[in-house]
Structure 1
Amino acid sequence: MDSRKIPIRVANGRAYIWDVDDLQTIRSEHRLCGLLVGTLPHLSQQNLFLGIPSQLMPEEAALLVEKEYAVFVDDASAYRGATLSEFNAWNAEQREYIKHQQLVLEQEHANKKPPEVAQKVMSEEAIRKRKEREMKRQKKAAELQETEAEVPNANEEKVVEAEAPESSNAFPTTYNISIAAPSSSVPWYDPSNSTYSSISSAKAAGIWDFPSDLQDRARYGVFKDLWEQGYFMGGGIRFGGDYLVYPGDPLRYHSHFCATVISSPTQRIQPMEIVAHGRLGTATKKTHLFCTWDDEKGTVDYLSIEWAGFG
């Protein structure tokens, strides 16, 4: 495994992952998913498909740093003011890189062009030449009708011959071109003095504050305990809990449990709350977990509820 630690960029107290390879690493190797919150330029509606960055839950970010898989980066202080010449140079490099990728993609598409597409291109070329010949004949006929003889202008002839052909479907008009995130390549981004390898140091720097109280410690304790048992976790607010607990990657499995965090062993639970969670869990085909955190012992106790004995 690569010893490189994943940079978690913190902005306004929220943790983000900007690199696609880092997203793959934390999902495949560390069983953490995050939530994509970035927009995709080529999609008109931004309510279903989203892109980078991925925002991590506070529990996910804290766990990655505690396990020494990642470090916090104060994203705002890592940037310095860029000069106009630096920005222009970087912009020129990006444009050249995009042009290079486009040429490569066009060449790959041309090499894979099927025979029927090539035949269609040839037929369209024949149509174009036929139209050019017809235009030349019409032009000569108009010149003969003029009262004064006039020598045709060579430049005008060239214009006719150079007329662009009709649009062809030989090549696609759009390409998917990858561009590195600015913070990973620009010369005016230097995180070396804005990187923190522990939660305590990030708190001391004022960029991170989770966990800050008993409820945060309870949430983090429950999250870490379930994660250490091999589960994947996601947000559970849609199903009336704190977390959804998956036996494997959420792209392949449905969640088996919906977990609610109880911050103290002495905290009271109302009977109506038990009934509500039980009925909701049954309706969504999940078992509801009450997860009680003991702050003194640093342990978690679990109580599952589900409806049974119908009939």
Structure 2
Amino acid sequence: MDEENPRIIELRVSNHRAYVWNVDDLALLRSKHRVCGVLSGTLPHVSQQNVFLGLPLMLIPEEVVLLVEKQLAVLVDDPSAHRKPSRGALENWNTERKASVKTQLAAETRGAKEDLATSRSRSMSEDAVRKRKAREEKRAAAALAKHLAEGDIEGSSELPTPEMASLSQPPSTPQPELTSLSQATYIATVPGWGFAVASHMVQHAARAGIWSYPANAHERAKCNVFRDLWEKGHFMGGGIKFGGDFLVYPGDPLRYHSHFVASVIDSRSAPIAPMEIVAHGRLGTATKKAHLLCTWDEEKQEVSYYSVEWAGFG
């Protein structure tokens, strides 16, 4: 990938959720941009299970805002991205499809006739070989009877035998294997597909009605905390299972356990209940993590972090 002109990733938005459908984009997000997302699609051969999932990759809203603000991705309105083809284009496509079907049927019929002719020719040639072999064996037997009658069997090296007669036959020509045309696969593409709306800014996507995050102070604080942790080199994931907003990893989650559970507080003056602090400390320590209380200062445009851990007494 060109460092000066990085690849722009297409985030397909449907029902205000962003998805990545290109496997190359998925690899680029994880290896280059430290964005993991969550696989949400079933695998073709194991569609009944829900442990190992595949494309599409669904991104959390903070990941989407980060990628768009960093100019690494664009938001594409997926429902309107597939433009309806014109009537003329549909008629042309339908005409071409019918012509293709006729060509396939003609080729299949011609192949069937050739198979039948080849089979008949092969059966006739095999009958001729059998008759010729029978004549040679009959001739050899007659010669053998003649030699026996004359008493000149000893010392004769030119006596024909059925085995020698069969060796003198010319080898039969192998028949080529014919491939059935009915097993061929034909793919037709409907014309007229393309992007309808592609937004390079979150504000533009919001005005177009395809994206609505962040919509309040708490969501803006979460986006800013997420970006600050990302800029510090961390990987992030959803932290709802551990009582927070994000899980903070020192490296790829496939290789490392998370070190922190981050909870976002709108501002430094926002109240927090003491029992909530105790719960965060106990849960974080029980899961071998430290709990981060992250506050966003709108005036200073900076994030403050407070680490909470449970400590034993006595």
TM range (shorter): 0.5 to 0.7
5 Å-filtered alignment, 1:137-176, equals none
CA displacement at 1:203 relative to structure 2: 1.1
Alpha-carbon shift at residue 295 of structure 1 (Å): 1.9
| % identical equivalent positions | 60
Match of 1:298 among 290, 296, 301: 301
Alignment partner of 2:220 out of 212, 217, 221 = 217
1:257 aligns with 2:260: yes
Secondary structure of residue in 1 paired with 2:293: strand
Distance 1:246 1:88 in 2: 56
The aligned counterpart of 1:131 is none
Change (3 A) 1:186 1:310: farther
- What is the rounded CA distance, in whole Å, between the counterparts of 2:43 and 2:234 in structure 1? 30
1:40, CA displacement in angstroms? 1.3
**In the alignment, what sits opposite 2:290?**
287
Q: Which amino acid aligns with 2:266?
A: S
Q: Which residue of 1 aligns with 2:149?
A: none
How far, CA to CA, are the matches of 2:96 and 2:60 in structure 1? 37
CA distance in 1, matches of 2:226, 2:96: 46
Residue 209 of structure 2 corresponds to residue 206 of structure 1? yes
Amino acid at match of 1:247: P
**Could you tell me which of 45, 61, 64 is aligned with 1:61?**
64
What's the CA shift string for 1:209-228, capped at 9, x where partnerless?
A: 11111011010011000000
Distance 1:14 1:45 in 2: 24
Equivalent residue for 2:76? 73
Residues 198 and 283 of structure 1: CA distance in aligned 2, closer, same or farther (over 3 Å): same
Structure 1 SS opposite 2:311: coil
Map of 2:152 onto structure 1: none
Tell me if structure 1 keeps the 8 A contact 2:214–2:220.
yes
**Normalised by the size of structure 1, how large is the TM-score?**
0.66
d(CA) in 2 for partners of 1:299, 1:89: 61
Describe how 1:185-196 pairs up with structure 2 within 5 A.
Answer: 187-191=191-195, 193-196=196-199
Equivalent-residue separation in structure 1 for 2:30 and 2:92 (angstroms): 39
Number of equivalenced pairs: 219
1:309 deviates by 4.4
Deviation at 1:310, TM superposition (A): 4.7
Aligned to 1:274: 277
1:231 aligns with 2:234: yes
Q: CA offset at residue 76 of structure 1?
A: 1.1
Q: CA deviation at 1:253?
A: 0.2
Q: Distance in 2 between matches of 1:187 and 1:242?
A: 44
TM-score under structure 2 length normalisation? 0.65
**Secondary structure, counterpart of 1:53 in structure 2:** strand
2:11 to 8, 14, 31: 8
Partner residue in 2 for 1:38: 41
* 1:273 to 1:187, Cα distance in 2 relative to 1, 3 A: same
Structure 1 unaligned spans of 5+: 94-184
The residue correspondences of 1:114-129 to structure 2 (distance < 5 A) are: none
RMSD: 2.4
Aligned partner of 2:135 in structure 1 is: none
Q: Match of 1:41, as an amino acid?
A: P
| Secondary structure of 2:75 counterpart | strand
C-alpha separation in 2, matches of 1:227 and 1:38: 26
Q: 1:77 to 1:310 in 2, by over 3 A?
A: same
